[in-house]
Chains A and B, each alone.
Chain A
């Protein structure tokens, strides 16, 4: 059963701009000029109940705008969507009973008060009866490990502790769909792993549908079964994580280390980086079989270690962004620079 249905959803923003140059700012004051920004251009997709979907894209791709339309924060310019059978643009308040959301950069907790007080107020907002609220809070405190800081003012919590509280708070009313926009932004490795574990458990045990945007490929690989990639406001990829990774099966990364210094001079197989005793290679298995590569590398000297890995998901997605950038630029060579840029945008910030 589809819990999220999106049909040709678009969102345009009209933004005022001031042209560069002498006197133009003054002229623009009297005759303002506007530019139309097409943040989302006709997205259509469906998400089934219990799915965990990664919604990916570089900064400005339209991810957050889409989530905001699905939660009723923003009104679409055209097209429509249904979440749990409700139209977010007209039934926002009814929908709010059944969805939870965490926006990594926005807090729903009171900064000067302990999470316990925010939970009590959220209980009143979601009209959770007192005994149910007490039981539910105790359950979330235990599951998310909030006990040690549940009565400490939010301003004194670490970012990881705060995000755990935010996610727990968003679940207080037992939502059926959870929207997460950059939930692990700014978290350290340990905190990220904890949050991922909690989200996996939540989906497994409670069948909560999770719609998540993140620039952290670790989040995506560990939690999600399906990836939707948008770029310039359009869906460019919508497939399972398995299929997404399959795209890159032809490419392997081979790392070698030798017991003594060697010269890396194999025709048609330059190392992507190397020292005098170690190197790594990007191998296109359609041109060189792995057996052939291993044989050639073995022939160079006494091997101490060799590793063969699939292409990291981060690179796969960066390639998709870069290829789209190339198409947009209509033949202007973006190449490696585009890939590097895409990888960079993938690593930080949000749309």
Chain B
């Protein structure tokens, strides 16, 4: 029974391989949990794609009548919708708790994660997947397949841009949720930030005023999850891809720091609950 006493020295904390194994296992367990309810999965998967397709139809009608909107033609709008949808979906598939963080903190359910020898932020965010996000993820790839003139390089670039965009979603959503450490119930502000970021990302950059674009490249970085990826994608501008990754890592670092500072104020709780 004591054989394992020798295998958990402090030096193991933070090993990348171990974290990747943990993330892979968490993902597999989450997927299995989702597939426990097959009908629910299928309904949410196709429901979300149908929901996205309805907006595509709206834009098709609008652009057919008015021509380009804010400098975006139909294909641009479809790309942005598909891209943002996939990045948003990926963020919620891998880090499903990004919009449940404040609830977990306020209910004192962070205890379980604090008791485990993994980074609490990563452990918490990765311990859930959102079912409907699978439909979002698939939607982007379907749009890409339907839009004309895209070869394997475009597909590769699409993925290379989608991952940092997803990380920016993670950073902003988790950061807004982390405000609960400082202001108690922050669900209002965090849901507003989420909605604004998503909404502003789905409309052409040109419709926003010049001053407002400052906001869209800072607090609500729609610029980095939609507008910049579109420009890079259209020009196949590979050298800019690492820059987008760097920006994503910067946002993640800020979000992580906010969480760590807030964690010192955590007060736990004694609510009865289960891990779902």
Contact = CB atoms under 8 A, between A and B. Distances in A.
A121 interface: yes
Interface in B83-115: 109-112, 114-115
Interface string B240-276: 0000000000000000000000001011101111111
Contacts of A34: none
A127 B12 contact: yes
Interface string A97-134: 11101010111111111000110110111111100100
Ranked nearest first, the 6 interchain pairs of A and B with the lowest CB-CB distance are A97-B8, A174-B4, A96-B117, A124-B25, A94-B10, A105-B272
Contacts of A72: 114-115
Contacts of B268: 68, 73-74
Contact of A173 (B4, B15, B119, B264): B4
Contacts of A105: 270-273
A81 interface: no
Interface residues of B, number: 45
A120 B119 CA distance: 18
Given A91-B10, A117-B29, 8 more contacts: A72-B114, A73-B266, A103-B111, A105-B270, A107-B275, A118-B29, A132-B4, A136-B4
Contacts of B270: 64, 105, 350-351
A285 interface: no
Contacts of B272: 105-106
Nearest to A64: B270
Contacts of B114: 71-73, 92
A75 interface: yes
B276 A74 contact: no
Given A112-B36, A132-B3, A132-B4, A126 B115 contact: no
Contacts of A125: 22, 116-118, 123
Contact of A139 (B1, B32, B36, B119): B1
26 contacts: A13-B267, A72-B114, A72-B115, A74-B266, A74-B267, A75-B264, A97-B8, A101-B115, A106-B112, A110-B29, A111-B276, A113-B32, A113-B33, A117-B29, A124-B18, A124-B21, A125-B118, A126-B8, A128-B4, A129-B7, A132-B3, A136-B4, A174-B1, A174-B4, A207-B2, A351-B270
B191 interface: no
A96 B2 contact: no
A328 interface: no
A121 B25 contact: yes
Contacts of A113: 29, 32-33, 36
Contacts, number: 134
B13 interface: yes
Contacts of B274: 107, 109, 111, 154-155
State which size class the interface on A falls in.
Answer: 35 or more
Contacts of B15: 127
B232 interface: no
Given A108-B112, A128-B4, A173-B8, A117 B32 contact: yes
Given A97-B12, A110-B33, A205 B264 contact: no
Contacts of A91: 10
Interface of A: 13, 64, 68, 71-75, 91-94, 96-99, 101, 103, 105-113, 117-118, 120-121, 123-129, 132, 136, 139, 153-155, 173-174, 176, 205-207, 350-351
Contact of B5 (A68, A112, A174): A174
Contacts of A94: 10, 13, 117
B9 interface: yes
Given A73-B115, A124-B26, A110 B275 contact: yes
Given A73-B114, A174-B5, A93 B13 contact: yes
Contacts of B10: 91, 94, 97
Contacts of A110: 29, 33, 275-276
B5 A176 contact: yes
Contacts of B109: 106
Contacts of B33: 110, 112-113
A174 B267 CA distance: 28
A128 B3 CA distance: 11
Residue from A13, A97, A118 whose CB has the most chain B CB atoms within 10 Å? A97
Given A68-B268, A94-B10, A124-B22, A174 B2 contact: yes
Given A75-B264, A96-B116, A132-B7, A127 B18 contact: yes
A97 B2 contact: no
A68 B118 CA distance: 17
A13 B269 CA distance: 12
Contacts of B115: 71-73, 96, 99, 101, 108
A121 B18 contact: no
A1 to B, nearest CB: 14
B274 to A, nearest CB: 4
A101 B113 CA distance: 12
A154 B36 CA distance: 12
Interface in B11-64: 12-13, 15, 18, 21-22, 24-26, 29, 32-33, 36-37
Contacts of B36: 112-113, 153
Given A107-B274, A110-B275, A174 B3 contact: yes
Residue from B15, B26, B116, B266 whose CB has the most chain A CB atoms within 10 Å? B116
Nearest to B25: A124
